[in-house]
Structure 1
Amino acid sequence: MPKELCYLVDQISREKGISRETLLEALRSALLSATRKRFGGRTNIDLKIDPKTCDITSFETKRIVSEVTNRDEEVSLREALKILPDGKEGDTVDIPLDLHDFSRIAAQTAKQVIFQRVREAERDAIYSEFKDKIKTVVSGQVMRRERGLYFLNLGKTEALLPIKESLPNEMLKRSDTVRAFIEEVKITPKGPVIILSRTNPQFVGALFKMEVPEIHEGLVVIKEIVREPGERTKLTVYSKDSSIDAVGACVGMKGTRVQSIVRELRGERIDIIPWTEDPRMLIARALSPASVERIGINEEDKTAMVVVTDDQLSLAIGKKGQNVRLAMKLTGWD
């Protein structure tokens, strides 16, 4: 048994990247529990596994007494002296247990414990990997839809995209490949659960970071993003490098960069607005595509009065008030 046990531990350690010490300690704990159960649940029993040879030894610790009244916890001085020649009353002595027919139990337990530890290690690795990816974009294939959720295959694990976090105008089908924003990674008794979103405003920002090298490199910065998923997104951008046009970088040659994102968002409109510290100019730009005649602002209660011509009024307000509503959120002015 020790030889086979060492081989199994070494093999799993190499293949799964779990330390030998971790596997042996998990095995020791399980075997100790099995041994105590076999001997009536006595807690004075302990067990050791030699880290080099994998030899298993088990013993019970008893108190040396002149007259035994509790055989589970006490041993006579005469019996104790056979193991501990210099023992005396009041001392404790470790008495080896007879593990007759224990090899079969140990082998079964070893396999169960080691494979359980492997599963736990794999779950831990998945949790650690995806926890570091929170607020980034992943690509997955739709596997099924049930209980208000899309289940996406990310390769190493599954992720959950709540239907309410998918776009209002999309119906995903099995085998569809989509990108989504990692919103949360939770630990549950069954392992890590990865929660995705396609409606989070930061999803749009993460897509721009993937498509626009200048954003990825920190040369162009997204200042603010507001969104009504499936309908329209407005974002403000600025450049840290005067030689780089922030809006142009986001749009790309012939609109290739922004159109790639629009396709991912199923045709959602995206307004890219150059950010400025001037509130009047920022408000005017935020109301794009409408042209603004003049703007009056009240600094005290942070409100603005915007004047547009009659032919620009519907553009400024937008469908069901969407354009002006997003502009207010984007600028922070009412």
Structure 2
Amino acid sequence: MAVTGISANRLELLQIADAVAREKSIEKEIVIEAIEEAIQKGARSRYGADHDIRAKIDPKTGELALTRHVTVVADDYEPEEGEAFNDYALLRLSDARRTDAEAEVGKEYVETLPPFEFGRVQTQMARQVVMHKVREAERERQYEEFKDRVGEIVNGTVKRVEYGNVIVDLGRGEGVMRRDQSIPREIFNIGDRIRSYIYDVRRETKGPQIMLSRAHPGFMAKLFAQEVPEVYDGVIEIRAAARDAGSRAKMAVVSNDSSIDPVGACVGMRGSRVQAVVAELQGEKIDIIQWNPDEPTFIVNALAPAEVSKVVLDEEDERVEVVVPDEQLSLAIGRRGQNVRLASQLTGWQIDIITETQDSERRQKEFAERTELFQQALDVDEVIAQLLVTEGFATVEDVAFVEEYEIAEIEGFDEDTAQELQTRAREFLDRQAAELDAKRKELGVEDGVLEIEGVTLAMAVALGEGGVKTVEDLADLATDEIRGGFEARGGERVRIPGVLESFSLAQEDAEMLILRARVAAGWIDASEIAQPEPEYDDEAYEMDEAERVFGDAPEAAPEAESEGESEADSEAEGESRDA
């Protein structure tokens, strides 16, 4: 933009404002305001910076009015700290009434100033003022235009490529696609047409940053919305998506209409719909599966094409253990762990995969360990110990404190046997507690530590072995010192063991233990750790994880399918298969 002189005639001023407004796609009034500010600044440099000089351009005629204003203030008016009273712009009431009997606080005296020619320095300064104001208005316009378009696909032209980052001309704005948001091996040249996904719009000092991506899962979901009318209309919903950009992706879909197969609709006739998306994503293979509100079923579907024998959920840690046939292990894990990684991203669960052989070996080991425990603790033979383990008893506490009839009902047992076994179990626990308590005292762990809710004798012994012997010692710990953690030493990440690491405490339990110790030590008040009972909406809780990416949760059909090509599938792309 060029501003050759603010002293231009009135026709030129309007022409300049009109041209700049069209070029920068901003309002003409904003440009006129910028020119007015530039003229004011130039006039102050000529008449004095302390003068209150104002410029006003008529937007219809281009007529310029340049005026100087003096405002009447109270006699006791005091300028802000560090500033002197401005005699050029302010006039005290008593002084004003010497010449104007009707003067009052707030009254302005306006003096019209004659037009003047700008010098070279004033012209340069005016040009900078106008350009700065126009640039700010242009940035604000871009931000307001694109802030509500997050989640949309936009078309643009590659403007330049800087260190792998692609700058895209979006017509009324400029977007940035960073190297990690592009599909690997995808090369763009200046002038290339490009489709991308707006995943963020940030307001920064250098202007709005429109962040683009072709690797975001939302990009794939929006492409399906363009290719599949049922998705666009909301009949089919994409509940979750996970991508390894340029290689493979998984997408969970569900239908609001029981008569429509969501997987088949997304695949299309002979794979026509999915192939259009695959082509845009540079050959990325897409597995389309049916979303299911039942977490185990959904996880099994997500691991397709691998077959799953068993699923064990640990809801507290949000982990799931999946057992697969031995020959399916490599397929379930995928190349470089790709299949299980995408399934984990799709479902929101940390997935651990083991084979049936490993599961069997582990169960046999646990069976043998529990059998030996019962033999030693209850002083029984191997057959009785095995019967207890087979019936689901895992610890001596289980035997000691269950209802007597639960033991008596075991085949070959009676009430006398059950009573005797419980008596032996309780005697064993009493002996064990006495030994632990003696060891605790030997280690010097004070009784107050045991009085803290959640601390057992075994924990007290472990704390003593770790040098934690008083309530204050426990209160002074951090959660990592209890559970264990990592820290950087010499540029390496070193594992630091926790004093109660063997008890596998959850993060929340460790924090609560410390807080209770601080209450007992008198460091904080008990009310500071009081927590209200949570109110659960079962349906909302069940649907929450699936809703986190793509909207509300409908009812889902039980059948799960996947589409696309995997490492162990030689079928052509675009064909659906049972998961």
Q: TM-score, normalized by length of structure 1?
A: 0.78
**Structure-2 change in CA distance of 1:144 and 1:314 (3 Å):** same
Q: 1:114 deviation in Å?
A: 6.3
**Aligned match for 2:66, one of 33, 40, 57:** 57
Q: 1:102 deviation in Å?
A: 4.0
Q: Which runs of 5+ in 1 are unaligned?
A: 64-69
Identical aligned residues as a percent: 40
Matched-pair contact (CA < 8 Å) for 1:5–1:110? no
Aligned to 1:66: none
Residues in 1 aligned to 2:244 and 2:48: alpha-carbon distance in whole angstroms: 65
Q: 1:213 deviation in Å?
A: 1.6
Matched-pair contact (CA < 8 Å) for 1:42–1:72? yes
1:134-167 residue CA offsets vs partner (Å, 9 max, x unmatched): 1211233334322341222333443221112212
Matched-pair contact (CA < 8 Å) for 2:242–2:251? yes
Aligned to 2:313: 298
Aligned to 2:40: 32
Residues in 2 aligned to 1:51 and 1:198: alpha-carbon distance in whole angstroms: 45
Instruction: Identify which of structures 1 and 2 has the higher relative contact order when contacts are C-alpha pairs closer than 8 Å and 6+ apart.
Output: 2
Aligned to 1:152: 168
Residues in 2 aligned to 1:194 and 1:202: alpha-carbon distance in whole angstroms: 16
Matched-pair contact (CA < 8 Å) for 1:234–1:326? yes
Amino acid at match of 1:319: R
Which deviates the most, 13-22 or 103-112? 103-112
State yes or no: 1:198 paired with 2:214: yes
Residues in 2 aligned to 1:166 and 1:89: alpha-carbon distance in whole angstroms: 67
How many residue pairs match? The answer is 322
Which deviates the most, 207-216 or 10-19? 10-19
Residues in 1 aligned to 2:244 and 2:223: alpha-carbon distance in whole angstroms: 16
Task: Find the structure with the greater CA-based Rg.
Answer: 2
Q: 1:251 deviation in Å?
A: 1.1
The answer to which structure has the higher strand fraction is 1
**Structure-2 change in CA distance of 1:115 and 1:261 (3 Å):** same
State yes or no: 1:216 paired with 2:232: yes
- SS of the aligned residue for 2:149 comes to coil
Amino acid at match of 1:172: F
**Structure-2 change in CA distance of 1:149 and 1:108 (3 Å):** closer
Residues in 1 aligned to 2:232 and 2:69: alpha-carbon distance in whole angstroms: 63
Pairing 1:252-271 to 2, within 5 Å after superposition: 252-271=268-287
1:4-62 residue CA offsets vs partner (Å, 9 max, x unmatched): 26743784599577656544433332222211111121234444445665241322528
**Aligned match for 1:8, one of 15, 33, 42:** 15
**Aligned match for 1:96, one of 83, 98, 111:** 111
**Structure-2 change in CA distance of 1:89 and 1:278 (3 Å):** closer
- SS of the aligned residue for 1:263 comes to helix
Aligned to 1:286: 302
Which deviates the most, 297-306 or 155-164? 297-306
Amino acid at match of 2:273: R
Q: 1:175 deviation in Å?
A: 3.9
Residues in 2 aligned to 1:124 and 1:90: alpha-carbon distance in whole angstroms: 37
Residues in 1 aligned to 2:28 and 2:181: alpha-carbon distance in whole angstroms: 43
- SS of the aligned residue for 2:238 comes to strand
Aligned to 2:178: 162
Q: 1:212 deviation in Å?
A: 1.6
The answer to which structure has the higher helix fraction is 2
Residues in 1 aligned to 2:187 and 2:202: alpha-carbon distance in whole angstroms: 26
Q: TM-score, normalized by length of structure 2?
A: 0.48
**Structure-2 change in CA distance of 1:48 and 1:92 (3 Å):** same
Q: 1:174 deviation in Å?
A: 3.8
